Structure 1
Amino acid sequence: MATPLTAGKLLKALRDEGLVVHEVRNWRTHNRNAKGPWGPLHGVMIHHTVTKGTDSSVDLCYDGHASLPGPLCHGVIDKKGEIHLVGNGRANHAGLGDRDVLQAVINETELPPDNNSDTDGNRHFYGFECINLGDGKDPWPEEQKAAIEKVSAAICRAHGWSERSVIGHKEWQPGKVDPRGFTMDSMRARIKKRLAKAAEGSADPGSGSDAGTGTDTGTGSGGDRPVPPKPDHPPYEPFPGGGHFRSGARSAVITAMGKRLVAEGCGHYKEGPGPDWTEADRKSYAAWQRKLGFSGKDADGVPGRVSWDRLRVPDTRD
């Protein structure tokens, strides 16, 4: 049994797991709470959308349709593995399912067959819709499956749950087939491995409250957020200033930065990285800024102090 996470705590948990998270419209107050209770929470439910296209799928999950008003889930996981939060509170995603399945989730034991529809799942589960046609042919990119793993692990960490608190819609409600294209047992095995390790580290540019996303301030304009102190070991390269990263710049720091970007899954290099500042460096760094949740001018690919300190580039000084 768990009290639902606040919008700010959910956002922080997801970003702490290393996810790129987009806040859609008024998701923090968008819910169906007037139609029924929300909580206590017992697990995470995974779905597929039977749609294609990110923007249209996100809009559908936010708005719903005439016979089923939105939100239709709490978050949408796109093909790139990015998360679009569309609701906070009760959502129309789970419907009526099997009471025995719910009890198994609560007990974190093996799931029984879902042969009844007698229990309100919208009350007790977080729901995430994954963009996929659900025809058994539409591929599931590794980035998307990794995001499902991370979303589930993030919420399980926040509540102290194990991987057995994550189920598919097809395991909850008779007749459902989603998610189709991978097994939930394989996904739970991935989640279990992830939960055995620490989270990737805070990727939330804010303070962890219900604040916004903050600024990177790599170009000399705007304010800055407090930067956590750097650990003594291993030593990290201090921020050299945004002016260090411009056409014609060359240094070992740029090479070290590029290697860290590749390690974080943000590399856009065909060759290298190397010591010369290139467009590939800028695109790679912009991907890192977006991973942290920055947007607009704060994700222009020019390093700022906040994003630099979180990248933890090894010290290149003698």
Structure 2
Amino acid sequence: MATPLSADKLLKALRDEGLHVVEHRSWRTNNRNHKGPWGPTHGVMIHHTVTSGTSSSVELCYNGHSALPGPLCHGVIAKDGTVYLVGNGRANVNLGDGKDPWPAAQLLAIERASAAVCRAHGWSERCGRYTVGPGPAWSEADRKSYAAWQRKLGYTGGDADGIPGKTSWDRLKVPNV
């Protein structure tokens, strides 16, 4: 667990990792902090929000929609690898349909952005086992990633099979799913 990065620290970490970063509108103050405290930070979450085109994705993630107000994340990573910062603080999460492919430049930027945040927090362990981004349905990649999380918690053998149990799931502190 760690204190969330300030906007300046996040921006510096991403740029130090060699990423092209666009600061979208008032991203530094775009948040849902009025709904409760933000933090502590437990890790990096990558999710799939699909719309048609980068501009539409950035606007959707910044503003949200009628059923789920924005921001829907902290940054949108475009197909070309550009990182658009859209929020800083508590955010809602919008999961996409998993049908929009992630090209190599986007995957590389996802890896670099994740590494930047982990380095900025001083985290060195990696549990994720994704070679292609997670989708809306549980897959073998999800199972492998979750098994790595279980092993990190000290489980072995059949207790680290990648199928969520109550104790390991609760330790993830996933809100309201």
The answer to whether the superposition gives a TM-score over 0.5 is yes
The Cα shift of 1:36 comes to: 1.3
Distance 2:98 2:136 in 1: 11
Q: Say whether 1:157 aligns with 2:125.
A: no
Distance 1:48 1:59 in 2: 15
Q: Within 5 A, what are the aligned runs for 1:78-227?
A: 78-93=78-93, 134-135=98-99, 138-164=100-126, 176-177=136-137, 183=141
Q: For residue 35 of structure 1, what is the aligned residue in structure 2? A: 35
Distance 2:27 2:106 in 1: 22
Q: What is the RMSD computed on CA atoms of the aligned residues?
A: 2.9
Q: For residue 52 of structure 1, what is the aligned residue in structure 2? A: 52
Measured against aligned partners, the alpha-carbon deviations of 1:48-88 in whole angstroms (never above 9, x if no partner) come to 11222000110000000111000000000010011000000
SS in 2 for 1:84: strand
Measured against aligned partners, the alpha-carbon deviations of 1:246-290 in whole angstroms (never above 9, x if no partner) come to xxxxxxxxxxxxxxxxxxxxxxxxxxxxxxxxxxxxxxxxxxxxx
Q: How many residues align?
A: 142
Pair 1:153–1:22, CA change in 2 (3 A)? same
In structure 1, stretches of 5+ residues that fail to align are 95-128, 187-318
In structure 2, stretches of 5+ residues that fail to align are 146-177
Q: For residue 169 of structure 2, what is the aligned residue in structure 1? A: none
Distance 2:4 2:93 in 1: 16
Contact kept, 8 Å, 1:77 with 1:148, in 2: the verdict is yes
Question: What TM-score comes out, normalization by structure 1 length?
Answer: 0.41
Q: Identity of counterpart residues, as a percentage?
A: 67
Question: Counterpart amino acid of 1:150?
Answer: R
- Larger Cα Rg: Structure 1 or Structure 2? 1
Question: Counterpart amino acid of 1:62?
Answer: Y
Question: What TM-score comes out, normalization by structure 2 length?
Answer: 0.71
The Cα shift of 1:93 comes to: 1.4
